[in-house]
């Protein structure tokens, strides 16, 4: 299907979508949600076509240089000119003036973000071609939540009234390798952590032989207040280090925060003899000037141990939960003991729940135990018989992805449809079709 036909179909679908709609809706939503502004949750509605907005950089940020892996680009001092959407005439917007605006009636809140121009890569040392994105959200309808001293507090509906992007160049300097220290096998090295972060937290390690290595911290602690029977108070402040492991070219290998227990980190990595890796330690010691944390690297064996899972290949129905506890039977571990890694193309999850299947095909789930032992399960995902009947007879190919996770129940799905409203459901469906068409062209 060529682009002209696709655009024609998209336009027809857009017309159908607009019938019965109370307000105009965009054919494609904004690229990302607003990041700064109101702390309260707010409903965001897209009301402009992203193609309508133009963004140009009037004044470059004060500093377009940042340290690779240690800093994020700072766009303080940036001034952009926007036109389109809410702004029929060109308007200058200063990042410094709008970055921390408080929501108020009819006020436009701004969000800015930066991404490498090459989506397949990340920041590299030297000059980077990047894209600056800007979003404007107008505070419209106010929802009252709580009255305090005669004043109502709540949140605003935020309607997207501008979207635009512009090219920008950023320069990434090398990590602070000149300050790195050598990390030696089985020899603890100290790191000073304070409220301002970690001082001199780069370590270089050269593997003396092939092996499976563990990088761990010691000295972290959870903040808590304890009392003796006589009424004495013992107050511990939070000390929380975390670390990232890179190869000799500073490519990301692994990272961790708290899996070492009591806020300590633990990173496990297979390394070849004479290979160089860099460990970057960061963290915070809250309400403390400084405190010493130690870092140690040990060799646990020749190879990474396997996690003896009950099954390494399973079949599940579309949108069905994967029973991880069943897979861990016999290992002595629970879900809380392992770190999960899975392909988000095939799986999704709700907080504190097992992942569920979201695409037909074969995906993989990897579970890593507390000592670095690892196991992988191949999961074949397909429709159940009832789902296949819906696909063939009821157009389920279009709406099946909107069904909830868990065992499929057509009766429940029909009730949900009528509770939400058939016409509203159809408009949402068509809107997504339009978005997918535009996204592909």
Q: What is the pLDDT of residue 92?
A: 96
Q: Are strands 87-94 and 79-84 parallel, antiparallel or unpaired?
A: antiparallel
pLDDT at 121 over 70: yes
pLDDT at 246 over 60: yes
**Torsion on CA atoms 116, 121, 125, 128, rounded to nearest 10:** -30
Determine the Cα–Cα distance for residues 31 and 37; give it in Å rounded to an integer: 17
Helices (H) and strands (E) in the chain, counts: 7, 26
- Domain residues of the chain, as ranges? 31-173, 177-301, 305-408
Cβ neighbors of 56 (< 8 A, separation 6 or more) are: 80, 81, 166
**Banded pLDDT at 289 (limits 50, 70, 90):** low
pLDDT at 388 over 80: yes
pLDDT at 153 over 80: yes
Half-sphere exposure of 176 (CA within 13 A, CB side): 14
Task: Convert 180-197 into a string of H (helix), E (strand) and C (coil).
Answer: CEECCCCCCEEEEEECCE
Determine the Cα–Cα distance for residues 35 and 42; give it in Å rounded to an integer: 12
Which of 415 and 1 is assigned the larger pLDDT? 415
Helix (H) or strand (E) holding 169: strand 151-173
Q: What is the pLDDT of residue 29?
A: 34
pLDDT at 9 over 60: no
CATH topology of domain 305-408: Immunoglobulin-like (2.60.40)
CB count within 10 Å of CB 441 equals: 12
What is each CA distance from 253 to 33, 66, 178, 269, 277, in whole angstroms? 29, 21, 21, 8, 9
Angle ∠(255,358,439) on CA atoms, nearest 5: 90
In 3D, which of 47, 44, 49 has the Cα closest to residue 10? 49
Tokens read off for 39? 């702390």
pLDDT tens digit sequence for 128-140? 999 999 999 999 8
Determine the Cα–Cα distance for residues 434 and 9; give it in Å rounded to an integer: 8
pLDDT tens digit sequence for 335-365? 888 988 888 899 998 766 789 999 999 999 9
Q: What is the pLDDT of residue 362?
A: 96
Q: How many residues does the chain have?
A: 441
Q: What is the pLDDT of residue 37?
A: 33
The highest-level CATH class for domain 177-301 is mainly beta
Specify burial of residue 431 (Cβ count, 10 A radius: 0-12, 13-18, 19+): buried
The average confidence (pLDDT) of the chain is 82
Q: What is the pLDDT of residue 374?
A: 94
Domain pair 177-301 / 305-408, same fold = no
pLDDT tens digit sequence for 391-432? 999 888 888 888 888 889 888 887 877 777 767 777 777 777
Helix (H) or strand (E) holding 267: strand 266-271
pLDDT tens digit sequence for 176-231? 655 678 999 999 999 888 766 666 688 999 999 999 999 999 999 888 887 877 87
Q: What is the pLDDT of residue 197?
A: 62
Q: What is the pLDDT of residue 173?
A: 87
Query: What is the percent of the chain with per-residue pLDDT over 70, rounded to a whole number?
Result: 82
Beta strands in 220-263 (DSSP E): 224-227, 233-236, 239-247, 252-256
Q: What is the pLDDT of residue 441?
A: 63
Tokens read off for 142? 């106010």
pLDDT tens digit sequence for 27-70? 333 333 333 333 333 344 444 444 468 999 999 999 999 888 77
Instruction: Judge whether 278 and 270 are in contact, CB under 8 Å.
Output: no
Which of 145 and 329 is assigned the larger pLDDT? 329
Q: Rounded to the nearest 5°, which phi and psi values hold at 363?
A: -115, 170
Q: What is the pLDDT of residue 331?
A: 92
């Amino acid at each position: 299907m060529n682009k002209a036909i696709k655009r024609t179909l998209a336009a027809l679908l857009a017309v159908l979508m607009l019938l019965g709609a109370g307000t105009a809706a965009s054919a494609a939503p904004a690229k990302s949600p607003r990041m700064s502004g109101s702390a309260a949750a707010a409903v965001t509605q897209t009301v402009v076509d992203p193609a309508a907005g133009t963004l140009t950089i009037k004044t470059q940020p004060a500093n377009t240089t940042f340290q690779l892996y240690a800093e994020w680009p700072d766009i303080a001092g940036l001034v952009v000119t926007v036109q389109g959407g809410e702004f029929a005439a060109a308007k200058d917007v200063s990042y410094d003036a709008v970055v921390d605006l408080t929501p108020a009636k009819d006020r436009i809140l701004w969000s800015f973000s930066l991404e490498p121009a090459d989506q397949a890569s990340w920041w590299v040392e030297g000059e980077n071609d990047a894209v600056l994105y800007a979003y404007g959200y107008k505070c419209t309808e106010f929802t009252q939540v709580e009255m305090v001293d005669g004043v109502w507090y709540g949140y605003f509906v935020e309607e997207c009234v501008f979207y635009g992007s512009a090219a920008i160049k950023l320069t990434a300097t090398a990590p602070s390798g000149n300050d790195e220290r050598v990390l030696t096998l089985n020899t603890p090295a100290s790191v000073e952590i304070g409220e301002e972060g970690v001082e001199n937290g780069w370590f270089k390690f050269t593997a003396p032989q092939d092996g499976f290595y563990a990088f761990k911290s010691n000295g972290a602690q959870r903040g808590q207040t304890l009392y003796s029977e006589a009424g004495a108070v013992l107050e511990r402040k939070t000390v929380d280090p975390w670390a990232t492991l890179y190869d000799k070219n500073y490519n990301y290998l692994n990272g961790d925060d708290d899996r070492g227990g009591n806020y300590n980190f633990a990173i496990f990595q297979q390394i070849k003899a004479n290979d160089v890796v860099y460990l970057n330690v960061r963290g915070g010691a809250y309400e403390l000037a400084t405190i010493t944390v130690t870092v140690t690297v040990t060799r646990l064996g020749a190879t990474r141990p396997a996690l003896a899972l009950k099954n390494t290949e399973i079949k599940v129905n579309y949108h069905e939960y994967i029973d991880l506890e069943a897979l861990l039977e016999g290992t002595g571990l629970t879900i809380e003991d392992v770190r999960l890694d899975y392909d988000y193309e095939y799986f999704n999850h709700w907080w504190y729940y097992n992942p569920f299947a979201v695409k037909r095909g074969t995906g993989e789930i990897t579970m890593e135990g507390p000592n670095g032992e690892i196991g992988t399960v191949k999961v074949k995902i397909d429709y159940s018989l009832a789902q296949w009947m819906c696909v063939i007879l009821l157009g389920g190919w279009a709406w099946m992805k909107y069904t909830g996770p868990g065992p499929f129940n057509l009766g429940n799905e029909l009730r949900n449809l009528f509770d939400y409203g058939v016409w509203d459901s159809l408009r949402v469906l068509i809107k997504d079709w339009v978005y997918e068409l535009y996204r592909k062209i």
